[in-house]
């Protein structure tokens, strides 16, 4: 369903941007690297009423996508924020088209859009979930588990998450750390809902290795090939019984349309940052729902800001698989919101207070800030 009732325009006075360094509870390793500190940009939309908050989910280095913190900082402060501030008022639904002339930089656009959306909804006392069309008040919580020292260590890490109540496990894989790791988790825990994420680490030359994963009856294999390998993914999908799910490749509604037409994916991971914003994420949800294609909500180690927005998005009816919508404690000892998301019976609650439905912990925000600027109208 498209957004039923658009949000009204608001007067924007400026944007405050901060780079944060937030320590992780443990290093997070994927096929593309290891992070011990989450470097992220927090955006504050300055308005006549309540400020709005957003998050630019770039990482420090362009390894997951071409975007990275300093690039996003540059494009947001020099081009995107000034374009929005050149208008007397802005409605959240206008942002995609206002920023359309600037090619790419979707994570930067998404962070600004979320800040404006939060401010606009706070002004109307409507929650993000209500605005999106949420149909549930809590969402099932899956967890993304990084590559560990060895398969035994992986089993122990997964055991901890299962004990906490996570309802679905995703393990990161890469060449040389795939079949044995997956086998270890399957053998240890039987028929748990299990999926793997390769973050583009393979090529079609690895088809035999990837086909070995079929025997584990995984929910899906996420992004085995490169971002632009849309035809190769279709070829691979025909050779596997494991459903192919795309993450990195789905950069827009158009990319999703093309991937589905080609048979490159039968499941889609939706991440608002990667697709340029929560409104484009809803459009991809709508497309997939109409096509009967299951979707789930991905994550980018969001702070409490993006984590609240992800819970609201994941409450839409097409999100039929558990997402990477874990508790804040999965990644952080200390978050930047006063009431970080917690796991309750394997679920995370969809906030119901106005806007994001979470409040900023200003002392935590200050503690983690390493760079700050204000762009004024
Ligand atoms: O591929 O889904 C991914 C984190 C950073 C970059 C890419 C990915 C991830 C995750 C973590 O898997 C998901 C989460 O935030 O829980
Ligand atoms: Mg992924």
- What is the rounded average pLDDT for all residues in the chain? 97
Asked whether 326 lines ligand 1 (CB < 6 A), one says: yes
> Residue 1 has what pLDDT?
66
| Residue 223 Cα: closest atom of ligand 1 | 1
d(CA 65, CA 60): 11
Instruction: Tell me yes or no: is domain 130-349 CATH 3.20.20.120.
Output: yes
CA gyration radius for the chain? 20
> Residue 3 has what pLDDT?
83
Mean pLDDT of 198-223: 98
Give yes or no for residue 166 having a pLDDT over 90: yes
pLDDT tens track for 349-362:
999 999 999 999 99
Give yes or no for residue 95 having a pLDDT over 70: yes
Query: What positions carry a catalytic annotation?
Result: 172, 271
pTM over cut 0.75: yes
Give yes or no for residue 334 having a pLDDT over 90: yes
Q: What is the CATH number of domain 10-125+362-376?
A: 3.30.390.10
Q: Where are the domains of the chain?
A: 10-125+362-376, 130-349
Residues 6+ apart with CB under 8 A from 290: none
Give yes or no for residue 272 having a pLDDT over 80: yes
Residue nearest to atom 8 of ligand 1 (CA): 300
Give yes or no for residue 228 having a pLDDT over 90: yes
pLDDT above 90 covers a percentage of the chain that reads 98
Mean pLDDT of 296-318: 98
Residues 6+ apart with CB under 8 A from 59: 35, 39, 68, 69, 300
Task: Name the strand (E) or helix (H) holding 177.
Answer: none
Give yes or no for residue 223 having a pLDDT over 90: yes
Mean pLDDT of 64-93: 97
Give yes or no for residue 2 having a pLDDT over 90: no
> Residue 341 has what pLDDT?
97
Residue nearest to atom 4 of ligand 1 (CA): 300
Interval between CA 28 and ligand 1 midpoint (Å): 9
d(CA 35, CA 29): 7
């Amino acid at each position: 369903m498209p957004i039923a009732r658009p949000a009204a325009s608001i007067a924007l006075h400026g944007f405050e941007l901060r780079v944060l360094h937030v320590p992780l509870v443990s290093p997070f390793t994927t096929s593309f690297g290891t992070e011990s500190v989450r470097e992220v940009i927090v955006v504050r939309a300055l308005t006549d009423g309540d400020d709005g908050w957003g998050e630019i989910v770039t990482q420090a280095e362009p390894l997951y996508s071409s975007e990275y913190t300093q690039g996003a900082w540059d494009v947001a402060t020099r081009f995107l924020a000034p374009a929005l501030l050149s208008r007397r008022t802005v409605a959240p639904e206008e942002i995609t088209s206002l920023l359309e002339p600037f090619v790419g930089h979707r994570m930067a656009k998404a962070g600004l859009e979320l800040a404006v959306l939060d401010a606009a909804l706070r002004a109307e006392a409507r929650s993000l979930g209500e605005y999106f069309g949420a149909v549930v008040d809590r969402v099932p919580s899956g967890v993304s588990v990084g590559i560990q020292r060895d398969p035994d260590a992986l089993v122990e890490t997964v055991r901890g998450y299962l004990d906490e109540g996570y309802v679905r496990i995703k393990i990161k894989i890469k060449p040389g750390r795939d079949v044995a790791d997956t086998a270890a988790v399957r053998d240890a825990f039987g028929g748990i809902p299990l999926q793997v994420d390769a973050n583009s680490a393979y090529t079609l030359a690895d088809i035999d290795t990837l086909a070995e994963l079929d025997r584990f009856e995984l929910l899906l294999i996420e992004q085995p090939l490169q971002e632009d390998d849309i035809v190769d993914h279709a070829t691979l999908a025909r050779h596997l019984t494991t459903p192919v799910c795309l993450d990195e490749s789905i950069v827009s509604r158009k990319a999703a349309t093309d991937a589905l037409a080609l048979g490159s994916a039968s499941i889609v991971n939706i991440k608002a940052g990667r697709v340029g914003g929560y409104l484009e994420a809803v459009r991809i949800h709508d497309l997939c729902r109409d096509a009967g294609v299951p979707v789930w909500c991905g994550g980018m180690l969001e702070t409490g800001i993006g984590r609240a927005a992800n819970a609201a998005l994941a409450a839409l009816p097409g999100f039929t698989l558990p997402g990477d919508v874990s508790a804040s404690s999965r990644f952080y000892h200390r978050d930047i919101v006063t009431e970080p998301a917690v796991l309750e019976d394997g679920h995370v609650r969809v906030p119901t207070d106005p806007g994001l439905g979470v409040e900023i912990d200003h002392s935590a925000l200050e503690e983690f800030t390493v760079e700050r600027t204000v762009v004024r109208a």
